[in-house]
Amino acid sequence: MKLPNREKAFMIHELDLVVLTHDIEGYDLKAGDVGAVVHCYDDNLGYEVEFVTAEGKTVAVLTLIASDIRPISQAEILHVREVSPVFA
């Protein structure tokens, strides 16, 4: 069952891991990349999400809306890939 964006937004909290739902050009981020929510805006529809390398280097901190991300599921497995050296 797919939840509407407003309902989905209430399920996401600060420090939650989230999954990017689409590629973001200019940051070398791809759909499926995992980030951590570092701030939730009062309306629960906007989020600051940090994406980092395996070494903990920040690739990007972006302001995203509920449709840009989704909660990570317990049944999902993480996958790694290399990012451009510019972002590492």
User: What pLDDT was estimated at residue 38?
Assistant: 98
DSSP state of 20: E
d(C-alpha 50, C-alpha 59), whole Å: 8
- pTM attached to this predicted model: 0.83
State the amino acid at position 55 in one-letter form.
Answer: E
Domains of the chain listed by start with CATH number: 5-71 (2.30.30.140)
pLDDT in tens, 9-44: 458 999 999 999 999 999 999 999 999 999 999 878
pLDDT in tens, 56-75: 999 999 999 999 999 999 99
